Amino acid sequence: MRSNKPSVPVDVREEAKKAGLKLVNGSGRKPIAEGVERYFAPKDVNDVDVYDLIVRCFKVAAMPEAIKAFTSDPSIIAIKDKSSDVQRCIINRHFRLISLRYVSRSGNSVLPIFLEFFNDGDVMSWLERIYSRVCGFFKHNRVYETLA
């Protein structure tokens, strides 16, 4: 039997309304149309190029296999001219997929780094975590070599 209770408490609904958010499926996320607009929006000239920074991280970490796999991934190629928010989101997806493929082939856990892939917060803090934790984990466990 279905309940008539709202899936989101009324006070959350009111706060979302005040903030200009449209609730989707009972959550506070913005509608999909806004995400699509952000994906296709032109990149600001002062926006950081996350794609380039990740490639540099791989170079500093001496990970040529990672550079090759990363720069040849069609979803990564498609984000070169996107905003840093879009780049980070797609790059996080790339890392998640690489991690899951590694787990399926090796049986090893990726939980220590899987929690590092989030799309909010400061870009430079995110990049520091990617370099110190993710690149380190990928290099130590030869993740990209395992998938080649």
User: Tens digit of pLDDT for each residue in 105-139?
Assistant: 888 888 877 777 777 778 888 888 888 888 888 99
Residues 93 and 134 in one domain: yes
**Is there a contact between 136 and 116 (Cβ–Cβ < 8 Å)?**
no
Token pair for 15: 């706060």
Residues 19 and 80 in one domain: no
So what's the pLDDT on residue 33?
67
| C-alpha–C-alpha distance, residues 72 and 74, integer Å | 6
| C-alpha–C-alpha distance, residues 80 and 90, integer Å | 11
Q: What percent of the chain has pLDDT over 90?
A: 27
Residues 133 and 64 in one domain: yes
For residue 90, pLDDT over 70 is answered with yes
Residue 3 belongs to a domain: no
Min mean pLDDT across 6-20, 46-60, 118-132 is at: 6-20
Compute φ and ψ for 27, nearest 5 degrees. -110, 175
The total number of structural domains that make up the chain = 2
Residues 114 and 139 in one domain: yes
pLDDT tier at 13 (50, 70, 90 boundaries)?
low
